[in-house]
Amino acid sequence: MKVMLEAGNVKKVYGQKGHIYTALKDINLEIKEGEFVGIMGPSGSGKTTLLNILSTIDQATSGSIRIDGNDIGKMKEEQLTSFRREKLGFIFQDYNLLDTLTIEENIVLPLALSKVKAKEIDRRVKEIAGKFGIEDILSKFPYQVSGGQKQRAAASRAIIANPSLIFADEPTGALDSKSATALLQSLSQLNVKDHATIMMVTHDAFAASFCSRVLFIKDGVIFTELVKGETSRQEYFQKILDVLSALGGGKGDLI
């Protein structure tokens, strides 16, 4: 199976002499095409730093990162900008929708920037809105819809350009349980049916139970991992809770 993301000895250090903080210590990982991988760990463990570095938002102090065969460390800023637009999709906790655009206009923004033809844009929008169940809100503005609908719109925007890899940063963090479940089921279907490759940072064991594999980070290193395999989601959920307990602290410490 094709390796979609490969990180080798990735290290991130903040500060200068006398005031150095090492956020990530020689992280090595692979994500294969079609995987749905979760990243979990206590607050301050380095999970968000890792997501930011792997998704090209931040730069590693040292180490190598390849996405879909491309060495992102060797790219200039202009190349990185094009690479993000063409190869990566992003789903953030706070939606990042533009209030002055309709839901449909927000979703198609990546295609408009890439100068895709109007007929193709219309076809893709209808297809993706159907997958996320938001066909009836396309003409509305973000302030007119619920948080769950906003996040499904953000997810639609993330996948409309057919990215090689989707990064999700606490995508259910601002949602109620019903909206969170709907979003996770949509992402899971996207992963299973369309073989979308997804990496999701989450503090929520329920959200992580939708992943095919979960990596646990503690003190800037990968502590362990869990692979779902043939395990039921309920059993997998319990195993995730057990690992979080072993990492130290209750749920309140992991937010």
Q: What is the mean pLDDT of each run of 10 residues along the chain (255 residues)?
A: 94 88 94 97 90 93 95 91 90 90 93 82 92 94 94 92 93 90 92 93 95 95 95 95 81 39
**In the numeric block, which tokens belong to residue 88?**
């990566």
Strand partners, 221: 218
- pLDDT confidence of residue 199: 97
CATH number (3.40.50.300, 3.40.50.970, 3.40.50.720, 3.30.750.24) of 33-59+70-254 reads 3.40.50.300
- Write down the pTM of the prediction: 0.90
Cβ–Cβ under 8 Å, residues 36 and 188:
yes
For 110, residues 6+ apart whose C-beta sits below 8 A from its C-beta are 85, 157, 160, 161
pLDDT of residue 53: 95
3-state secondary structure of 91: strand
The DSSP letter of residue 16 is -
69-98 per-residue burial string, b: 16 or more CB within 10 A, e: under 16: eeebeeeeeeebeebbeebbbbbbbebebe
For residue 117, the model assigns a pLDDT of 87
Q: How many CA atoms lie within 13 A of 73 on its CB side?
A: 16
Cα separation, 156 vs 244, whole angstroms: 31
Spatial distance between the Cα atoms of 88 and 69, rounded to a whole number of angstroms:
13
